[in-house]
Structure 1
């Protein structure tokens, strides 16, 4: 058992601890050993629920002959992409120079100084369909390293230069999009709809098909629903098509990662926290209600992914053991009775900070909307668990934890933005201002040096090597760091958070910070709406005056609360009289002077922070 991996805070690394490969975890120790031996580094990147990662492990990394070849000529590093997203992004960008078919497992060969010089994805044990065998690749790299080092150095230098240029050459905008521009972007996105099967893509092209929840959420923005209803309808059709397809698990709820065919069939069976957290919001905001879909997703999050300490695990595996053999999707092909006697696919119990923020926010909003206190309590439990376990020895957030042991990998900008946004939604759903105060601290920490950045900087090994990922604000399977931080800042602004910094007689508040982030990426977002759905949704909130509804009452079951819950608003919350005072005292101006009228539950309906006269009669609120 490899002691370097056996105690890792990643189930993926722990699963490889028994390999004959002399793995190192990501860190300076591996590169120091490569410099001592003057050998290249083979970096293998994957994650615990990745099917083809399992396949390559069985075929190559568990093979004694292949392991001997690796151990003799390389230092081998195993990386969990979910624990080290910056490493994955940097090496994925480098790999794009060698193959257009990017994915995982990602196999990257780098110099002892950290410069990539060759990359690929899955390599089979024997040549197959034009793909060389993994041992052939190792032999070729070893021959080039020992016989043609100058060629490797030239390639590595060119890749490093290209990565550096990509980090500094991204176009910057100067203004937030107008409502008209956002409507045009929604129409452009809607034009990419698959008219036959729903979702996005060409029905005639046999390519993998993803939900792209970030894009669906943009199409569900109130501005789009009002100004571009035909575009907004694309989101409803996509949800309905996915919900009726094999992409959705009808037994335990939740959606699989993606379908391999345009009609949403033959899924890739892993179930991810990121996808399902976002699709819960999609289901809740559908014009045509999908209560069974929403409840199924919530049940999957709480019953399957939530860990004993409270945090949500990263994903559930696509494979399980059936009749003594590994089966991809076999468990999910059974009905409820057929699953009863089977061991469920394993859950990656790694608690990722930002991803938990997505789930916390979605469950809090769903619980408030559907009057499901259990969902809100599940969100609270997770928030408290992350606040406790995902804090490093220096007091800063880390990327993840496993069994309440924090990872050494620092939290990313997306972690801070996503978790802050989740805490704000939890605060709004519970009426407890402490969660909003903590969220405000997280957002402020990301602006400590004036420009948005994760506190403490990025990955220290990449920084030392001068290698980094492009500064992209586009979404992958989750909102980007820039979009997440902008969304959290907008959420604080909606609560009337105090302005926080004065510079040259100009007060800069949370709205201004969000505007700066949106404006910086507006050009790319308007041109490529499929890739920037999260940023465009934030922009849509900034483009029109918001509607905020606050109900002050000690009785959450009051008729006024029920009536107010049905109002389409950017923010809806119920607080006690004491809670309203606590929010106002903590610097959230929306709650100032909000109190009971004549001892009755009182609703405040505000447009752009200007509130109409308070009402106590539900019928007046409807008017």
Structure 2
């Protein structure tokens, strides 16, 4: 019989709707019930594409005996971290404070006021590798709640006080010396043999790569190029269908964790398009085509993720044996494909299967394209991974930006059309009473309020739509979101909280300026504010961007891998940022000027037939002798116009 989650809008919660656990969604009534029964609250946080979330659900939450114990001794709350990033952030901070590490599924036990006194991640159904079973953990916690209430209260109070400690005071602005120092630090962390930073597991450093490309020094470009090429040719990249998996379990990008996330692919789409090499164009086109084919929803938005699992196991949709290749391709093309894709008899994955890699360009590209098409068609007959089809505002903002950049740089208008449809959906569905909501599904908006990253990423996406389409409605809409964020999210030191001043009060108000899997709310706001200022000349928005950027300077100096998006913004702002107005009659000459302008990484570019007053950057900008002209400006003060793309 379905539990309370049967009415949820989150696909992740719906996955647990048939559990024998008497789940609650995150709501005050759950804590009231725990207080009435005098039992603690068990909080379980995960997301739909999380492999170990599925494992723990199968082992424990689907087990009748474990569920019965939970129902008797706890009130259990299930949270989708992608739907409620505010709840996730608070309790992930608690988990890392208590255990030294974090991850999902996340398991916390709380008192009736929401204060945690225990935290962990995955717990097995049986004791394993020195780790207690989930049932043992539950029994110990129930006993502590019953017999050692003072200890529980002391731990919960101390942890709550720790979570409420303010961040360090703002530092100086991030200048050229700090940016150069960040490049040197990244050089010290570079895997010089395989690209990327650090060891296994290895995540795509999308935002760091954006910074390195914008920095533009030989060392920065070499690091970015090596990493982008290694990822594109590795098993983390879907060599048949395009798009990238979440991360590589090894240091060589060979074996991925197979879930595909919208935010990863949106960020990588932009990075590869801006890199612009042959490999970059190939990877970017594959990502964009993957987004449109696999993640686009009927309403025009983009779904959150594809699962890692199909047929009850991870990766089965994506891996191959030599025999399978020969069965599909025949005795000549099968071994040929196996050689180029590094599919071996021993395998690189599990059960003798291999991930697909393309470490070199095949010796016959026409043959390769035919093989790729046939393998992709054969793979379509397999059981597909499940799709988490909720539309997250922030991640759709990133997708809009990526598609706009790729569409204009690669000359594919359909990418911009898709971005515009997603933008229209966000404005039509996610704006409720003038305020941004975080998620929707099947065109119906969810209850959770938009957090800071939603405002920053969507505003930035709208500004990229202005630059790609010339439609000023996107400038107006971005202004609405940015003004709302400045009113409801700012801190006294010029930074930002991650939740609004009128959002649900949690035990601590989350504020994290560091980038993680996706840009932080602060770094996304800096990008949007700086771009808006470049387009309009607004000193208020420029000042807000500079003040916010100063608050992340300590992280940027000590750990640039966790401040890549802020560093990319700082690099652009160091240049002004560059504001380029391209005006003149449509045609090949204007297109060539616009493309040259857009290849100046970090520049803000608008294109129009003639001068316009509705975009201040275009005011009083005219063609030269009837020919298209480009005006390179900083703070709306422009150099002499140029008509030759080679001068840009």
Is TM-score (shorter-chain normalized) higher than 0.5? yes
Aligned pair 1:622/2:624, yes or no? no
> 1:383: which partner in 2?
423
Structure 2 counterpart SS, 1:107: strand
Query: Structure 1 stretches of 5 or more lacking a match?
Result: 500-508
Report Cα offsets for 1:265-288 as digits up to 9, x if no partner.
221100011111111111112264
Hey, what's the Cα distance between the residues in 1 that align with 2:223 and 2:305?
A: 27
- Assess, with a 3 A threshold, how the Cα gap between structure 1 residues 420 and 261 changes in structure 2: closer, same or farther: same
Among 602, 611, 631, the residue aligned to 1:604: 631
CA drift at 1:231:
2.5
> Are the counterparts in 2 of residues 109 and 117 from structure 1 also a CA contact under 8 Å?
yes
Q: Give the Cα–Cα distance (whole angstroms) in 2 for the partners of residues 152 and 434 of structure 1.
A: 54
Shift of 1:307: 0.6
Tell me which residue corresponds to 1:368. 408
| Pairing of 1:113-128 with structure 2 (within 5 A) | 113-128=113-128
Give the secondary structure class of the aligned counterpart of 1:14. helix
Q: Is 1:420 aligned with 2:459?
A: yes
TM-score, scaled to structure 1: 0.90
2:95, 2:101 within 8 Å by CA — same for their partners in 1? Answer: no
Q: Secondary structure at the match of 1:211?
A: coil
SS in 1 for 2:606: strand
**Are 1:210 and 2:212 matched, yes or no?**
no
Aligned counterpart, 1:61: 61
Aligned to 1:562: 592
Aligned to 1:187: 184
**CA 44–134 in structure 1, closer or farther in 2 if over 3 Å, else same:** same
Q: Which structure 2 segments of 5+ residues have no match? A: 321-374
Structure 2 Cα separation of the partners of residues 231 and 458 of structure 1:
42
Q: 1:259 aligns with which of 235, 242, 248?
A: 248
Give runs of aligned pairs for residues 145-184 of structure 1, distance below 5 A. 145-165=145-165, 168=166, 170-184=167-181
| Alignment of 1:317 onto 2:357 | no
Q: 1:216 to 1:118 in 2, by over 3 A?
A: same
1:356 match = 396
* Cα deviation, residue 363, structure 1: 0.4
In 2, Cα distance between equivalents of 1:131 and 1:514: 46
CA contact (8 A) 1:445 1:455 kept: no
Match in the other structure for 2:362: none
C-alpha distance in 1, partners of 2:546/2:130?
49
Do 1:45 and 1:81's aligned partners in 2 also have CA atoms closer than 8 Å?
yes
CA distance, structure 1, for counterparts of residue 225 and residue 112 of structure 2: 50
- Contact 1:314–1:348, Cα closer than 8 Å, also in 2: yes
Displacement of 1:395 = 3.2
User: Structure 2 CA distance, aligned partners of 1:139 and 1:151?
Assistant: 16
* Secondary structure, aligned partner of 1:248: coil
1:448-484, Cα deviation, whole Å (9 max, x unpaired): 266445674375151xxx3343x22000111111111
Equivalent runs, 1:456-535 vs 2, <5 Å: 456-457=500-501, 459-462=503-506, 466-469=507-510, 471-499=511-539, 509-535=540-566
2:583–2:590 CA contact under 8 A, matched in 1: no
User: Which stretch has the larger CA shift, 481-490 or 286-295?
Assistant: 286-295
| C-alpha displacement of 1:397 | 0.8
CA apart distance, 1:345? 0.9
Taking the aligned partners of 1:448 and 1:103, their CA distance within structure 2 comes to 33
Give the root-mean-square deviation of aligned CA atoms.
1.9
Paired residue for 1:574, among 602, 607, 622? 607
Q: How does 1:179-328 map to 2 (within 5 A)?
A: 179-202=176-199, 207-221=200-214, 224-225=215-216, 228-286=217-275, 288-289=277-278, 290-321=280-311, 326-328=312-314
**Separation in structure 1 between the aligned mates of residue 210 and residue 386 of structure 2, nearest angstrom:** 30
SS of the equivalent of 2:241 reads: coil
Contact 1:87 1:459 in 2 (8 A): no
How many angstroms apart in 1 are the aligned matches of 2:378 and 2:160?
A: 52
Alpha-carbon distance in structure 2 between the residues aligned to 1:403 and 1:497: 39
After alignment, is 130-139 or 519-528 more displaced?
519-528
Could you tell me how far apart the structure 2 residues matched to 1:455 and 1:80 are?
17
Q: Secondary structure at the match of 1:96?
A: helix
Deviation at 1:411? Answer: 0.6
Contact 1:5/1:24 (CA < 8 Å) preserved in 2? yes
Instruction: Give the conservation status (yes or no) of the 8 Å contact 1:44–1:78.
Output: yes
Cα separation, 2, equivalents of 1:110 and 1:355 = 30
Deviates more, 1:193-202 or 1:544-553: 544-553
Q: In structure 2, do the counterparts of structure 1 residues 525 and 342 end up closer, same or farther at CA, with 3 Å as the change threshold?
A: same
Which residue of the partner structure matches residue 504 of structure 1?
none
2:19 is paired with a residue of what secondary structure? coil
State the alpha-carbon separation in 2 of the partners of residues 215 and 251 from structure 1. Answer: 26
**Counterpart-to-counterpart distance in 2, 1:387 and 1:433:** 14
TM-score by length of 2: 0.87
Residue 549 (structure 1) shift: 2.4
